[in-house]
Amino acid sequence: MFEAAELGRSISKHDYKEQEPILREKLLLTQFELQQANVPVYILLEGVNNKDKGDVINLLNQWFDTRGLEVNGFGAKTEAEASRPRFWRYWRNFPARGRIGLFFGSWYSGELIKRAIKKQKKAAFDTHMQRILALETTLARDGALILKFWLHSSQSTQKQRLKELKAAQKEGWKSSQADFQILTHYPRYIHAAERAIRLTDQAISPWYVIESEDNYYRDIAVVKHIIETAENHLATRPKADTKKSAQLQATKTFSEEDSKDATQKTHDEPITEPTILSQLQQPPSEEPNDNGKHLAKLQEKLTRLSWQAYHKGISFILVFEGWDAAGKGGAIRRIMQAVDARIARVISIAAPTDEEKAHHYLWRFWRHIPASGKHTIYDRSWYGRVLVERVEGFATENEWRRAYTEINNFEEQIIHHGSLLLKFWLHIDQEEQLKRFEARENIPYKQHKITAEDWRNRNHWQAYETAVNDMVVHTSTDYAPWTLIAANNKHYARIAVLEALCDQLESRLKETK
């Protein structure tokens, strides 16, 4: 693949100076068009020579309007980064809609080095390339423009560069270990890069191999590719996406007129066959005789297990979904009474902020993934995309359907890192929900829990039940299955949640012995 890139292409300084003002103006105008269209842009710079990448970064810093530009450089992982899933340090630095992110090194760099120095087998390398492909597909389908540049230099040039680095070190200059690893293992590094490009090159996230022997040629080629790819992206982008992209996760209190509009947007037809939820058997209505003792015993056990997990670097992530008034908050409180607040926190998902709306819908959840040993509980979660956004018409059918795969990929990375992920759906029937709604309205200290939107959502019960059924079918995987809790009796529901959590934690701890 790279043989053709070693042809010594170049342009003269005179030609460069002639093209520079034209391309510089065009690049700036392209940036403004992308900004107006709310397109997030990812520019990845990879290659053998870090100086080439640095020079291109400097050039783009000069030619772009820096107010819409973010430069991200990645070296050795920090302690916080190493204690989270592989992509976490990139997730949290993704550009917002309308902004450009420059990545000096990226989610490819570390894998290429590990493969070059024989610290990663081919199968593991290929698996990670598939994860990268899934990530880039997720971003591109959300409207992102992704450009990946391989800045190529010949082996003879790299040998000279290695000599320069060694000489500089003798004079006291510091060079990164990665520089020496890349240059020392050049053939294997190039072989790994060729394979990575073949496995991850696609129309929605293309690779461009740029010859870098001549700086003038390199700079002009990179800028031309950015302009051309951006123009094509803008020309083929659906018109509706520009206005809609920042509204996908909006939540609000609906009026009666809004409710009618939302109903018309709903893609779901009421289902007549039994659903997964309709087949759940509700427990007896009375409180268990030994409920208090059993609950206390489970909480004591959870306290012990959570600290053991902390000291072994095992995180647990809990996702709570369910009907309004199903008892999610009560179950979470019983967990947090047992788990030390220093090692656990609850993320309550409400209406997204402007900053969150400006990113991919998973971004606000990516940011809160706990470090190894810490625990996070999501009170509602990323499943809003396939539940409320689906039913209320905030997401198109294409968007919520592809979210199943995006969510499964996200959760697979959580599990791959070694975290424990438990997903609970708390189910109550319509009669029980009505009883709880009325109680909330009549009890002063509970009145804040009931809103007009809660009552409105009852009118969409069948549509939501269809969405929940599909959600469980498509996202209850072998590595992250759903646990469905019959919750008409809140006492039984809390016990069931604690038992499931303790059982899973205990099993994981036994595996680590």
Q: Measure the CA–CA gap between 336 and 43, rounded to whole angstroms.
A: 42
CATH code, domain with 115: 3.40.50.300
Which residue in 217, 212, 206 sits closest to 152, CA to CA? 212
Q: Are residues 237 and 255 in the same domain?
A: no
Q: Are residues 9 and 111 in the same domain?
A: yes
Listed in sequence order, the residues at least 6 apart from 234 whose beta carbon sits closer than 8 Å to its beta carbon are 33, 34, 37, 39
End-to-end CA distance of the chain: 47
Binned at pLDDT 50, 70 and 90, residue 75 comes out as confident
Residue finishing a domain among 187, 211, 245: 245
**426 vs 167 pLDDT, higher one:** 426
Tokens of 266: 């709903």
Q: Are residues 170 and 303 in the same domain?
A: no
Classify strands 316-322 and 207-211 as parallel, antiparallel or unpaired: unpaired
Asked if 467 and 475 count as a contact pair (C-beta separation under 8 A), the reply is no
> pLDDT, tens digit, for every residue of 22-58?
999 999 999 999 999 999 999 999 998 888 899 999 9
For 94-135, the DSSP string reads: PPPTT-EEEEES-TTHHHHHHHHTT-S-HHHHHHHHHHHHHH
- Checking if the pLDDT of 288 tops 50, the result is yes
Asked if 45 and 218 count as a contact pair (C-beta separation under 8 A), the reply is no
Q: Which domain holds residue 471?
A: 248-511
> pLDDT, tens digit, for every residue of 234-285?
999 876 544 344 333 333 322 333 333 433 334 445 555 788 998 899 988 8
Q: Are residues 178 and 57 in the same domain?
A: yes
Which residues does residue 209 pair with via DSSP β-bridges, in sequence order?
A: 150
Q: Are residues 265 and 224 in the same domain?
A: no
Q: Are residues 348 and 215 in the same domain?
A: no
Q: Measure the CA–CA gap between 341 and 377, rounded to whole angstroms.
A: 12
Tokens of 283: 């427990």
> How confident is the model at residue 4, as a pLDDT?
52
Task: Tell me the mean pLDDT in the region 343-350.
Answer: 95
Tokens of 201: 């090159």
Which residue in 469, 468, 429 sits closest to 281, CA to CA? 429
Q: What's the whole-number average pLDDT of the chain?
A: 88
Q: Are residues 302 and 208 in the same domain?
A: no
Binned at pLDDT 50, 70 and 90, residue 449 comes out as confident
Q: Are residues 184 and 216 in the same domain?
A: yes
- Checking if the pLDDT of 200 tops 80, the result is yes
For 407-462, the DSSP string reads: HHHHHHHHHHHT-EEEEEEEE--HHHHHHHHHHHHHSGGGGGG--HHHHHHHTTHH
**158 vs 248 pLDDT, higher one:** 158
For 453-477, the DSSP string reads: HHHHHHTTHHHHHHHHHHHHHHH--
> How confident is the model at residue 165, as a pLDDT?
67
Residue finishing a domain among 245, 278, 297: 245
> pLDDT, tens digit, for every residue of 89-104?
999 999 999 999 999 9
Q: Are residues 241 and 252 in the same domain?
A: no
Q: Are residues 239 and 310 in the same domain?
A: no
> pLDDT, tens digit, for every residue of 495-505?
999 999 999 99
Q: Are residues 203 and 350 in the same domain?
A: no
Residue finishing a domain among 245, 279, 306: 245
DSSP H helical segments within 245-378, as ranges? 256-265, 291-311, 328-336, 354-357, 363-366
Q: Are residues 395 and 442 in the same domain?
A: yes
Q: Measure the CA–CA gap between 332 and 335, rounded to whole angstroms.
A: 5
Only one residue has tokens 């009796």, namely: 489
- Checking if the pLDDT of 326 tops 80, the result is yes
Total domains in the chain come to: 2
